[in-house]
């Protein structure tokens, strides 16, 4: 039986798709059969971030509407042969995601995979609700910034009330906080909420911290999931995040500012 | 913040301002003053009640409040004077 993980946030632009791509790739690197699904109907982007945009023929919505079989829509990852991408439609609207249709596809994927990663759209409308409905675990992607923290709190409330687990009165969705675009330097300068602050505000266990880094843009420019950017801080931070999700103990890295020179400390910068 | 800034006191710690503001707003939103569905509920109740009794919109009010461990949904309908 597969485990279903939703990557969600409420707010847009915080790193949901980047995280979905990196996290799903990380699970596959660990040998798990993994599928990552784009729920952002009308604004598909997971295919670009995964670098498979030119191989999309059929999509999630085609499968829901019976216009294609699941096997026809699943795209095998460029580098990992146990990772598949289920892209979404660029042309339809979010209402095309019928609850029954999504449930049918999820049931079919359950048979084939160990992990199903659902990349949620921003907002709290149909697409986001469908993405979180089947979740066993949720990764709430949050930036250390007021609007992102507030929206994350909102989405945590929705997870607790509107998921299938909540409706059926089963054990609640396992919640994980992933702090992204974190800048230890700015935290130390008192300009950015610290990871302790965000943990205290949201009261959700911290799964990982991804540092602010130019590598993220370099990765998406090329359609390479950030976890493959060998030797970079973000790749290592995502590897740690996946390891922790799988139950390993890993100390937090990249959360302390590197020591700066005497002159820098004196004059700022 | 540089050493000189520290002495000159030129910069405020904005992160702590952010934290304080978030503490307040999250506490408020979690205690849920008005759940999202209340306005819709009020409109639908209004539609049903006015089918049978001539009432104005202002004469129906719906409130939700927390009392200890449970929540109370209170519906108030003010009937028009019978003359």
Alpha-carbon distance A132 to A228, whole Å? 27
Tens digit of pLDDT for each residue in A158-215? Answer: 999 999 999 999 999 999 999 999 999 999 999 999 999 999 999 999 999 999 999 9
What percentage of chain A has pLDDT greater than the value 70? 96
Please report the DSSP string for A56-94 in residue order: --S-HHHHHTTSS-HHHH-EE-SS-TTEEEE---SSS-G
Instruction: Please say whether the beta carbons of A119 and A40 come within 8 A.
Output: yes
Residue B17 pLDDT > 70, yes or no? Answer: yes
* Angstroms from A143 CA to nearest CA on chain B: 13
Angle at A8 between CA A118 and CA A227, to 5 degrees: 70
Nearest residue, CB atoms, A146 vs list B5, B18, B30: B18
Residue of B nearest to A148 (CA): B22
Tens digit of pLDDT for each residue in B40-82? Answer: 777 788 888 888 888 877 777 877 776 766 778 888 888 777 6
pTM of the model: 0.82
Question: Residue A241: which H helix or E strand, with range?
Answer: helix A233-245
| Interface predicted TM-score (ipTM) | 0.86
Nearest residue, CB atoms, A266 vs list B4, B14, B25: B4
List the structure tokens of A81. Answer: 């042969």
| Alpha carbon A164 to chain centroid, angstroms | 19
Instruction: Please say whether the beta carbons of A27 and A115 come within 8 A.
Output: yes
- Which segments of chain A are extended strands (E)? 3-8, 34-38, 75-76, 83-86, 115-119, 137-142, 174-182, 206-211
Residues from chain B contacting residue A201 (CB–CB below 8 Å):
19, 22-23, 26
Give every CB contact of residue A34 below 8 A, 6+ residues apart in sequence.
Answer: A24, A27, A28, A82, A83, A84, A113, A114, A115, A116, A117
Q: Is the CB of residue B4 less than 8 Å away from at least one CB of chain A?
A: yes
Q: Which residues pair with B62 in a beta bridge?
A: B75
Nearest Cα residue to A252 out of A260, A261, A243: A243
Is B15 in Cβ contact with A197 (below 8 Å)? Answer: yes
Residue B77 phi/psi, 5-degree rounding, is -120, 120
Alpha-carbon distance B6 to B12, whole Å? 10
Is A267 in Cβ contact with B22 (below 8 Å)? Answer: no
Chain B, residues 6-65, CB within 8 A of chain A, namely 11, 13-16, 18-19, 21-23, 25-26, 29-30
Tens digit of pLDDT for each residue in B39-51? Answer: 777 778 888 888 8
Alpha-carbon distance A262 to A236, whole Å? 29
* Angstroms from A73 CA to nearest CA on chain B: 37
Residue B30: which pLDDT band, with cuts at 50, 70 and 90?
confident
């Amino acid at each position: 039986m597969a485990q279903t993980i939703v990557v969600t946030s409420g707010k847009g632009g915080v790193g949901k798709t980047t995280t979905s791509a990196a996290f799903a790739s990380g699970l596959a690197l660990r040998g798990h059969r993994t599928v990552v699904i784009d729920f952002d109907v009308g604004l598909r982007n997971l295919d670009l971030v995964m670098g498979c945009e030119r191989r999309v023929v059929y999509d999630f919505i085609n499968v829901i509407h019976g216009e294609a079989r699941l096997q026809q829509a699943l795209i095998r990852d460029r580098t990992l042969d146990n990772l598949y991408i289920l892209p979404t439609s660029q042309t339809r609207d979010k209402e095309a995601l019928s609850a029954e249709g999504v449930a049918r596809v999820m049931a079919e994927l359950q048979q084939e995979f160990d992990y199903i990663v659902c990349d949620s759209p921003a907002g709290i409308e149909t697409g986001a609700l469908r993405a979180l409905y089947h979740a066993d675990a949720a990764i709430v992607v949050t930036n250390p910034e007021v609007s992102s923290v507030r929206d994350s709190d909102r989405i945590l409330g929705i997870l607790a009330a509107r998921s299938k687990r909540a409706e059926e009165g089963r054990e609640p969705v396992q919640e994980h906080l992933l702090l992204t675009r974190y800048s230890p330097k700015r935290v130390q300068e008192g300009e950015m909420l610290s990871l302790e602050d965000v943990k205290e505000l949201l009261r959700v266990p911290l799964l990982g911290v991804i540092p602010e880094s130019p590598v993220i843009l370099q990765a998406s420019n090329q359609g390479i999931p950030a976890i493959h950017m060998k030797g970079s801080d973000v790749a290592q931070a995502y590897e740690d995040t996946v390891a922790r999700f799988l139950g390993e103990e890993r100390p937090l890295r990249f959360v302390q500012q590197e020591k700066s020179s005497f002159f820098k400390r004196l004059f700022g910068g | 913040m540089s050493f000189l800034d520290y002495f000159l006191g030129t910069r405020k710690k904005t992160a702590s301002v952010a934290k304080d503001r978030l503490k307040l707003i999250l506490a408020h939103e979690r205690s849920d003053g008005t759940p999202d569905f209340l306005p819709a509920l009020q409109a639908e109740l209004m539609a049903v009640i006015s089918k049978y009794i001539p009432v104005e919109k202002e004469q129906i009010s719906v409130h939700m409040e927390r009392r200890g461990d449970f929540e109370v949904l209170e519906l108030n309908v003010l009937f028009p004077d019978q003359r």
